[in-house]
Structure 1
Amino acid sequence: MSLDRILPDRIGFGTAPLGNMFRAVPDEEASATLKAAWDQGIRFYDSAPLYGAGLAEIRLGELLSDKPRDRFVLATKVGRVVLDEVDTGSRALGEKGGLFSAGRPNTIVHEWTADATERSLEGSLERLGVDRLDIVWVHDVAQDFHGDEWLGKLEEARTGAFRVLTRLRDEGVIKAWGLGVNRTEPIELTLALDEPRPDGFLLAGRYTLLDHRHALERLLPMAEERGVSMVVGGPYSSGVLAGGTHFEYADAPPEIIERVRRIREIADHNGVSMKAAALQFSLAHPVSEAVIPGATKPSRIAEDLAALHEQVPARFWRGLREARLVSPEAPLPGGI
């Protein structure tokens, strides 16, 4: 099913920060943030077993426990199975390994086979406390593998997770499935297949003000041609576009800090907030269906919603283009 028929709005809530991403988030702070999202009308929630070894799903499930199931759209991911046993060693989670060091200590198994996909879904349903999911993403299938090693993992997913999720979609158990990644290549290869065919994809960090040129070259024209929609994850590029210090899960390098400074200078000159610039840019492409910024503080929800609806003058977008801070191929709000 097309994502535009599933998603209730153009903005959702990404729960990665509530898996204790970067820091230990107190339960009361996480609960207050989720409550603020619900109270202010957010009805699309995205999670994953990876986020704190199930912590984000557990916290999200507590919010949703007394909400009518038909009132919200819920997405999670497969590719990691969270076990009951505690991992006493150093967990090999690749570039994201340090992100959730304050999460639950449970062992996490990386696997995209049919059996692992079904076990992952069972675990997510239990942690979320729901009887069904709307969207399921195949998570990080190209993450942390050297050279062409990731092609083998994609093949594992193609013959495992893809087929399980296609069957569940065809049976009406889920509404849609796709890839949830931060590389464009696995989506391109998947879209080139005759089958199984995904309904959409979640692309994290690759269609933002700071990084979008590669996606524009091949992936997005291919997706548009095939009628496949995109959800944009990480629209603030790990936070650096919203006043934070992280980019790509690490401290932002000097060249990124300088690029942000230049964007902010044009934004300040035109009275535009950085959050509005980031969200509205990511949504301007015709393939973009929604953005899912994350948060750990209740006040951030109001900021995100205000940014989504902020009136941004055309001269700001022209200024970015003239300064070569956005690709000339990137669609801009207002058809600029």
Structure 2
Amino acid sequence: MARAQLLRLGAALCASAALPSLAQQPGKPAIQMTTRPIPSTQEALPVVGCGTWIGFDHRPGTDEYKRLPGVLDALFAAGGRLIDSSPMYGRSEETTGELLAAAKPGGKPFLATKVWTSGRDAGIAQMEQSFARLRTKQMDLMQVHNLVDWRTHLATLRGWKDKGRVRYIGITHYTASAYAEVEAVLRAEKLDFLQINYSLDAREAEQRLLPLAAERGVAVIVNMPFGGGGLLRRLRGQPLPVWAADIGCTSWAQLLLKFVLSHPSVTCTIPGTSRGEHMADNAAAGAGTFPDAAFWRKHADALRP
């Protein structure tokens, strides 16, 4: 780990040590979720959000849909704000808009979605549709999904950002085969956010992309923090290590999220779920201590499924 990263990690650990008690106080979340600054503005963003891929692609009246208000309730109760979606995710944007219209979050949600098409006019039409589905006049974050026609869409988004329609802009991807192109865009363009996959069993992003994002002043949202789900399913069959309690983890999900959030370049992670109890469990990983790289190396054997 580079010296600059170690210094940032040390500062983060000092901040974590100063966190208030996790005991619930009247009118406050049951846990005190850590926040980290968005580099381009220093706005504080809670470190655990909610992804909506698959989990929110349900229609009203179904049993799955009826569970979803509990997901947002758990997110907001823990102090979380970021909800990430995409027109690629079926009706997830529409579902999110419906649920937020009926919910009473403690603070303003941080809405993030994406553009996933080719051509300027098609991109504008798709983004306008996302505004309508999410029932908002201003999008907190609009991202170019998987770099599809990124030059065209970033040009549009810069104009929209100047006009205040979007607050932040970024790019996304989810596979290491695209990292060379992601790196090239990060070096060439001024961006607020990078959304990328990173997990205990998929660590390629830490080689170049995460340090580059820090160097360029770009916030990082981690998708697929459970390695697509397969890693978590495998580990659940094993007993949780005794040392997990030392970093405040009571589940494998929390431990895997702690690993992701321990990287000093990571701003937030967005585990997806359709169950409130899982959202509450995930959110708990956003409080307390975030160990350094030496800690994870020491316990690497226990984390091999």
Q: TM-score, normalised by structure 1?
A: 0.67
> How far does residue 35 in structure 1 lie from its aligned partner after superposition?
3.0
Q: Kindly indicate whether residue 182 of structure 2 is the aligned counterpart of residue 187 of structure 1.
A: yes
Q: Distance in 1 between matches of 2:109 and 2:202?
A: 30
| CA deviation string 1:253-295 (max 9, x = no partner) | xxxx5xx489x56x42424532222111111222110111111
Q: Kindly indicate whether residue 262 of structure 2 is the aligned counterpart of residue 284 of structure 1.
A: yes
Q: Is the 8 A contact 1:181 1:203 kept in 2?
A: yes
Q: Is the 8 A contact 1:202 1:231 kept in 2?
A: yes
Query: 94, 97, 106: which one pairs with 1:61?
Result: 97
2:46 alignment counterpart? 9
Q: Distance in 2 between matches of 1:182 and 1:119?
A: 24
> How far does residue 157 in structure 1 lie from its aligned partner after superposition?
2.0
Q: Distance in 1 between matches of 2:49 and 2:86?
A: 15
2:299 alignment counterpart? 320
Give the number of aligned pairs.
253
1:299 alignment counterpart? 277
| Cα distance, 1:138–1:269 mapped onto 2, change above 3 Å | same
Higher RCO (C-alpha under 8 Å, 6+ residues apart): 2
2:163 alignment partner AA? E
1:218 alignment counterpart? 208
> How far does residue 41 in structure 1 lie from its aligned partner after superposition?
2.9
Q: Distance in 2 between matches of 1:294 and 1:3?
A: 26
> How far does residue 320 in structure 1 lie from its aligned partner after superposition?
2.9
Query: 72, 75, 94: which one pairs with 2:112?
Result: 75
Q: Is the 8 A contact 2:81 2:107 kept in 1?
A: no
Tell me the SS of whatever aligns to 2:56.
helix
2:124 alignment counterpart? 118
Q: Is the 8 A contact 1:233 1:292 kept in 2?
A: yes
2:191 alignment counterpart? 198
Q: Distance in 2 between matches of 1:25 and 1:3?
A: 41
Structure 2 residues not aligned, in runs of 5+: 1-37, 246-250
Q: Distance in 2 between matches of 1:285 and 1:302?
A: 22
Query: 127, 142, 146: which one pairs with 1:136?
Result: 142
> How far does residue 319 in structure 1 lie from its aligned partner after superposition?
3.0
2:82 alignment counterpart? 44
1:188 alignment partner AA? E
| Cα distance, 1:15–1:6 mapped onto 2, change above 3 Å | farther
Query: 196, 201, 209: which one pairs with 2:200?
Result: 209
Q: TM-score, normalised by structure 2?
A: 0.73
Q: Percent identity?
A: 30
Q: Kindly indicate whether residue 234 of structure 2 is the aligned counterpart of residue 234 of structure 1.
A: no
Q: Distance in 1 between matches of 2:107 and 2:255?
A: 32
Q: Distance in 1 between matches of 2:57 and 2:280?
A: 21
1:161 alignment partner AA? H
- Aligned-residue CA RMSD (Å): 2.9
Q: Distance in 2 between matches of 1:69 and 1:277?
A: 27
Q: Is the 8 A contact 1:270 1:313 kept in 2?
A: no
| Cα distance, 1:68–1:122 mapped onto 2, change above 3 Å | farther
| Cα distance, 1:35–1:231 mapped onto 2, change above 3 Å | same
Q: Distance in 2 between matches of 1:220 and 1:316?
A: 19
The range that moved more, 283-292 or 219-228, is 219-228
> How far does residue 311 in structure 1 lie from its aligned partner after superposition?
5.6
| Cα distance, 1:49–1:7 mapped onto 2, change above 3 Å | farther
